[in-house]
Structure 1
Amino acid sequence: MISLVVAAVLLLIHALVCLVLWTLMKLGLLPVRGHMLAVMVLVPLWGPLLVVLLIARSAVFGADPKDATLESLRINDELHRSILVHDREADAGVIPLEEALIVNDPADRRRLMLSMLTEEPDAYLAQLQAAKLNDDVEVAHYAATAVAQISKESDLKLQQLEHAFKTDPSAHNLNEYCDFLGEYLDSGLAEGRVAQIQRQQYARLLARRCERENSVELRIRYAAALADVDQIDEAQAVTDQLVLDAPEEQEVWMLCLRLAVMRRDGDEVQRVIDAIDKQHVYLSAANREELAFWRNGEEAR
C-alpha cells in the first residue's frame, strides 16, 4: 500500500515537472525540441532530468557541435557556389588602352575607339586627346570628333552654370560654377586665349569663395589659380600664410617650390627643399619625383 502511495506521489511530481517544463517551452524560455517531449513524459524522473542536462550543456558549450558544423558547411557550400568563376578565355582579346592606340593593328584601334564612343567618352577624355595625334587617320578623326562633342557639351554646361550664378550669386551656385570650371580647366579642353580668360575667372571665383570659407584646401586652389595667371606676388602672399597655418600640408610646400621656380630664384628653391626635409613633410610619389628633379638640379649647379 505504501509503495503504491509513493509511486503515485512520484508520478504526480513527475507530471508537475513535465507540465512546468512544457509551459516554459511554450513560453520560449527553454530551447526544447519537439522529439524530446516524448522522452521527458515517458521516462519518469530521468526524462526531465535529461532534458535539463541537455539545456544546461547547450547553455555552457553552445549549440550542438554537429549541427553547427553542418550549418557552417552548408553556408560555405552556398558561398562557394555563388562565386562566379571568371572566364579567362574572354580575356584573350583584352589589351591595354594605350597599347591598343599605339602598338596594335588598325582593326584593334578602330574597334577600341568605337567602343569608347558608344560607352562613356567623358571617362576616356585623356586617351581621346592622345588619340587625336594617332597615325591612323580614321582613329584620329573619331577621337577629334568625340573631343569636340565633349567640349561642346562642357561649354554649354559652363554657360548654364555661369548664367545661374549671375542670376542668383548664392553660395550653392558659386560652388557649382567654380568646381565645374576647375574640372573644365584641368581637362585641357580650353586652349589659348580662352583658357587664359577662364583661368582668370576661376581665380576670381575662388577669391569670392575664400571670403565665405577659409579652408586650407580652398586656399591652396586659390594660390595655384593665381600662379596659373602669373599673379605671383598675390599667390606668394596666400602661400606664406598657408605655411603658417598648415606647415604639414605637402601641397603648400609644393606651391612654395613652384613659385620659387617661377621667380627663377635658385636660392629660394634650395630653401624650400631644405624646409621640406627639416619639417619631414609627407610627400606623395608624384611630389617626391618632382622634388627629386629640382633637388638634383640644384646639386648639379
Structure 2
Amino acid sequence: MISLVVATVLLLIHALVCLVLWTLMKLGLLPVRGHMLTVMVLVPLWGPLLVALLSVRSAVFGADLKDATLETLRINDDMHRSLLVQGRERDDGVVPLEEALIVNDPGDRRRLMLSMLTEDPDAYLAQLQAAKLNDDVEVAHYAATAVAQISKESDLKLQQLERAFKTDPSSHNLDAYCDFLGAYLDSGLAEGCVAQIQRQQYARLLARRCEREDVPALRIRYATALVDAGEIDKAEDVASQLVIDASDEQDVWMLCLRLAVIRRDGQAVQRVIDAIDKQHVYLNAENRERLAFWHEGEEAR
C-alpha cells in the first residue's frame, strides 16, 4: 500500500514538472523543440532532465555549437574522402592462374579449375589448354573436358554461320562468318588438317571482303591469313602493295619482317629494319621488342 502511494506521488510530481516545462516551452522561455515533449512525458525523471540539459546547452553555447559541430563533421568527411584505400600486404590464397596450375598444391589447382568451369570457361581458354598438360590427372581431365565442350560449341556455331553465308552471301553474313572464323583460329581450337583447311577458308573470305572494302587494315588481315595458310607468294604480293599504300602502318612492316624471316632472308630482314628506322614508323612495345630481337641478331651476324 505504501509503495502504491509513493508511486502515485512520484507520478504526480512528474506530471507537474512536465506541465511546468510545457508551459515554459509555450512561452518561449525553454528553447526545446516540440518533439521532445513525447520523451519528456513518457520517460519519468530522465525525460524532463534531458529536456532541461538541452535547454541549458542551447542557452550557454547557442548557434556556435551547431556551426562548430557541422564544421567538424565537414572536415572529417573531407579527410575520409581523401584517404586512399591501401592494398593488403598479404592476399592469402590469391595467385596468378598459371602459377596455381604449375606450382601450387593439388587443392589450389582443383579449386581454381572448378572456379573457371563454373564462372566462364570461354574466358579462360588459354589457361584450360595449358592445364590439359598438367601433371595432376584430375585437373587435366577437367581441363580437357571443358576444352572439348568449348570446341564443340564453337564448331556448332561455325557451322551455323557457314550455312547462313551459303544460303545468303550478304555482307552481314560474310562479316559474321569471317570474324568468328578468325577468332576460332586464334583460339587454337582447330588442329592439324582441319586447321589448315579453315585457314585457307579464312583467307578466301578475307579476299572477298577486300573486294568489297579495300582498306589497309583488312588487307593486312588478308596477307596475314595467307601467311598462316602457307601461301607466301600471294602474301608477299599483298605486302608489297601495302608498303606503297600504307607505309606508316606498323603492322605492314611487321608483316614484311615476318615474311623475310620465313624466307630466311637476312638481307630482307635488314632492309625492313632500315626502312622502319628511316621512315620513323611508330611501333608499340611488343613490336619494338620483336624488332630489337632481329636487329640484335643481325648485328651479331
TM-score normalised over the length of structure 2: 0.72
The one-letter amino acid of 1:265's match is D
Q: Give the aligned partner of residue 179 of structure 1.
A: 179
Q: Secondary structure at the match of 1:247?
A: coil
Query: Which runs of no fewer than 5 residues in structure 2 stay unpaired?
Result: 1-66
Structure 2 Cα separation of the partners of residues 259 and 209 of structure 1: 23
Residue 106 of structure 1, CA deviation: 0.3
Q: Which runs of structure 2 are paired with 1:206-217 in the superposition (5 Å)?
A: 206-217=206-217
Q: Would the alpha carbon gap of residues 297 and 172 (structure 1) be closer, same or farther in structure 2, given more than 3 Å must change?
A: same
Structure 2 Cα separation of the partners of residues 252 and 74 of structure 1: 58
Give the stretch that moved more between structures: 260-269 or 194-203: 260-269
Query: Which runs of no fewer than 5 residues in structure 1 stay unpaired?
Result: 1-66
How far does the alpha carbon of each residue in 1:254-298 deviate from its partner, in whole angstroms, 9 at most, with x for none?
001111111121111111111011111111222112112211222
Give the stretch that moved more between structures: 194-203 or 242-251: 242-251
Q: Would the alpha carbon gap of residues 74 and 291 (structure 1) be closer, same or farther in structure 2, given more than 3 Å must change?
A: same
The one-letter amino acid of 2:212's match is R
Structure 1 Cα separation of the partners of residues 298 and 90 of structure 2: 51
Structure 1 Cα separation of the partners of residues 118 and 129 of structure 2: 17
Give the stretch that moved more between structures: 109-118 or 240-249: 240-249
Residue 91 of structure 1, CA deviation: 3.6
Structure 2 Cα separation of the partners of residues 90 and 269 of structure 1: 47
Q: Which runs of structure 2 are paired with 1:84-233 in the superposition (5 Å)?
A: 88=88, 91-233=91-233
Structure 2 Cα separation of the partners of residues 106 and 166 of structure 1: 48
Structure 1 Cα separation of the partners of residues 231 and 258 of structure 2: 13
How far does the alpha carbon of each residue in 1:136-172 deviate from its partner, in whole angstroms, 9 at most, with x for none?
1111111111000000000000000000000000000
How far does the alpha carbon of each residue in 1:105-144 deviate from its partner, in whole angstroms, 9 at most, with x for none?
0000000000000000000000001111111111111111
The one-letter amino acid of 2:195's match is A
Q: Would the alpha carbon gap of residues 77 and 195 (structure 1) be closer, same or farther in structure 2, given more than 3 Å must change?
A: same
The one-letter amino acid of 2:251's match is E
TM-score normalised over the length of structure 1: 0.72
Structure 2 Cα separation of the partners of residues 80 and 217 of structure 1: 49
Q: Give the aligned partner of residue 270 of structure 1.
A: 270
The one-letter amino acid of 1:199's match is R
Structure 1 Cα separation of the partners of residues 115 and 179 of structure 2: 29
The one-letter amino acid of 1:232's match is I
Structure 2 Cα separation of the partners of residues 230 and 288 of structure 1: 26
Q: Secondary structure at the match of 2:92?
A: helix
Q: Secondary structure at the match of 2:161?
A: helix
Q: Give the aligned partner of residue 240 of structure 2.
A: 240
Give the stretch that moved more between structures: 94-103 or 192-201: 94-103
The one-letter amino acid of 2:189's match is L
Percentage of matched positions with identical amino acids: 82
